[in-house]
Amino acid sequence: MISGAGGRLLWVYAKAHGVTGRAVAAYALVWVGVAGASRFSVSALGLQFGPKGSATLDTVAMLLMLLPAAVVSRCLVGRAASLEATRSRPRQPARLLWVSGLAVAAVASPLPVLPMLHWSIDATAFLAEWCLVLGVGLLLAALFATPVASIASFGVLAVFSTPGLVPWSANIVYNVDLKDWSAGLGGALLVAGALVGAVSDGVLAGRTALAGRPERR
């Protein structure tokens, strides 16, 4: 259990990484939006229509998932660059804990909206797809600047959302029969994203900029 002082410091650490009450509220709101979009349950791109519990998500809901993924990715970046550049506390342990905790919290965050999903949506597949989107987002955010990572994640989803571009038998984003693969790959990407995120700390993206210049530490 986290002690009072430890809890306060955890909150301080979170705030130093962009977590605010408003961001949390916006994050929750986006999830309600994802669940709301899933109510339509029509894939206008004609990807797949399925019976009860057989569908993953509609393309709109999938693309909307990019927003919470971008919000989570944004929290990888420390906002007090000058303090962090001269820290004496070892970087990686806290960083690894933060990124892992963030990933776990993010994976669990759509659980409250599961009852709001359309009846045709397979909850396991839904969570697997979220893991996939989040994993791609985290990994790319660990390697590139947040906006670049977000747009690259968008590109990945766009490829899978364009009917015919990826064979249905290989469409791990929308084909519910492949949910085990999605979950596995999503989990692997999450772990990879957390590890790379913990190690890189934005250095690869030149993000811990001080006075407009990247840190060379």
Partner 1 sequence: MITMRVPHGFIRGRIALFAGVSVLVALQGVATISERSERWVGHWPNTSATVGWAALWGSCLIAAATAWTVAAPRRGRYEHLLATSSRTRLRVYAPGLVTVLCGGLAGYLADIAYVAIRTAPEAVSGHADILEMLPLPASALAAVGTGAVCGRFVPPLLAPVVAAVVPYIAYMWVVYTDVYTDNLFFQDLLPMDDTPRDYLTVPAELLVSKTILALAVGVALLAWTLAAGRTAYGSAVVAGFALAAMFTVAGARADLPSAYAAVCTDGPPRTCVDRAHEHLADEYRRLLTSGIARLDGVDLTDVTFVQSAELLPNSAKFAGRPVPAGSGFVVVPLAEHFTMPAHSIDERAFPAYLGTGLFFAPCVAATTDGSAPPPGQRTAVLLYHWWLTVNGLPTGGGNFPGEVATAAIVADDQKVAEGVARFTAMSGAERGQWFSQHKRDILTCGTAA
Partner 2 sequence: MNDSRVLEVKTLSFKYGRKTVLSNVDLTLGVGANVLLGRNGAGKTTLMRMLAGAARPTSGSVRFASDDIDGRSRAGRRVLRTVGWLPQEFGFPPHMTTAEFVAYAAWLKEVPAADVADRVAEVLRVVDLRAKAKVRLRELSGGQLRRAGLAAAIAADPQVLILDEPTAGLDPEQRDGFHELIRQLRSHKVTVIATHLLEDVEALAETIVVVDAGSVRWTGNPRELAGAAGAPEGLKGLRQGFQAVLEGTA
Give the other-Cβ count within 10 Å of 18's Cβ.
15
If one asks whether residue 6 binds partner 2 (CB under 8 A), the answer comes out as yes
Q: Tell me how far CA of residue 191 lies from CA of 44, 75, 121, 149, 176, in angstroms.
A: 33, 16, 26, 17, 23
Angle at 50 between CA 47 and CA 51, to 5 degrees: 175
187 neighbors 199 (Cβ within 8 angstroms) = no
Question: Closest separation between CB of residue 198 and partner 1, Å?
Answer: 20
Cα–Cα distances (Å) from 23 to 14, 72, 81, 180, in that order, read 12, 10, 20, 31
Binding mask 62-101 for partner 2 (x = CB under 8 A): -----------------xxxxxxxxxxxx-----------
Both structure tokens of 181: 């693969």
Binding of partner 1 by 56 (CB under 8 A): no
Size of the site for partner 2 (CB under 8 A): 31
Establish if 151 lies at the interface with partner 1 (CB under 8 A). Answer: yes
Q: How far is the CB of 27 from partner 2 (least distance, A)?
A: 15
Q: Which stretch binds partner 1 (CB under 8 A): 90-98, 122-130, 163-171, 187-195?
A: 163-171
Packing angle, helices 66-74 and 91-108, rounded to 10: 160
Pick the closer one to partner 1 by CB: 36 or 184. 36
Per rule CB under 8 A, count of chain residues that contact partner 1? 26
Tokens 């690894």 correspond to what residue?
96
Q: Which residue has the tokens 């899933």?
A: 38
| Residues engaged in binding partner 2 (CB under 8 A) | 3, 5-6, 8-9, 11-13, 15-16, 18, 20, 79-90, 209-211, 213, 215-217
| Residues engaged in binding partner 1 (CB under 8 A) | 40, 42, 44, 58-60, 63-64, 66-67, 70-71, 74, 146-147, 150-151, 153-154, 158-159, 162-165, 212
